Amino acid sequence: MDLYERAAEGMTKVESFVSNLPVIKDYRNKEMRRDADKRLREFIAEALERSRRRLTAAQLDLVRAGNLQALPKVEQAVGRLQLLIDRIRTAGYGYAPFFDIDEVREAELDKLAEFDRQIGQKAEVIGQQTEALALKIRSEEPFDEALDAFMDELAALHQRFDSREQLLSSVG
């Protein structure tokens, strides 16, 4: 069951009756989609936050191992990851006032939700790469290739998020 369906189940009988009124129904469905999209983005941001904390802990492993020359590059990765987390948390979600019901249509909201689902899948990849990178750092193995791959994945995710923002601005 997706977040939209869960939100719909949470309505009381009165809310359900009111939600079925023609204008209200369209607005309510959009609001539930927006809420589900916002919750999904928060879930993604939390997953990325765990990766950021893991990478920050790996920085301590570098310090303990005396590998100070690698710190700036890892710090750059932490910074880019934090920027992505902030962008996801503060992203717009297609808000339209009650009387501007047609401003953001359901199809556009569904596209935004699909963007966010894809970003969620990429967040899983980021998590896996973070773990692999942290293990290499801890074992004092060379990790330049893993860090470069991680940075490439972050750049692609930032680019994907730019596309989401372009979609949102073209709709609003």
Q: Is 123 exposed, middle or buried (0-12, 13-18, 19+ CB in 10 A)?
A: buried
What is the total count of domains within the chain?
1
| b/e burial code for range 25-41 (CB count within 10 A of at least 16 → b) | eebbbbbbbbbbbbebb
Query: Which residues are within 8 A (CB) of 160 and not within 5 positions of it... i.e. 6 or more apart?
Result: 115, 118, 119, 122
> In angstroms, rounded to a whole number, what is the distance separating the alpha carbons of residues 160 and 144?
24
- Tell me the one-letter amino acid at 168: L
In a domain, 19, yes or no: no
In a domain, 107, yes or no: yes
Q: Once rounded to an integer, what is the mean pLDDT over residues 68-78?
A: 94
pTM: 0.74
In a domain, 20, yes or no: no
In a domain, 21, yes or no: no
In a domain, 12, yes or no: no
Q: Residue 24: pLDDT above 70? A: no
Give the pLDDT confidence score for residue 1 in this predicted structure. Answer: 54
pLDDT category of residue 16 using cuts at 50, 70 and 90: low
Query: Which residues are within 8 A (CB) of 63 and not within 5 positions of it... i.e. 6 or more apart?
Result: 71
Query: What tens digit of pLDDT does each residue of 127-150 get?
Result: 999 999 999 999 989 999 999 999
- Residue 131: count other Cβ atoms within 10 Å of its Cβ: 15
Q: Which domain holds residue 139?
A: 37-171
- Higher-confidence residue of 23 and 127: namely 127
- Residue 142: count other Cβ atoms within 10 Å of its Cβ: 9
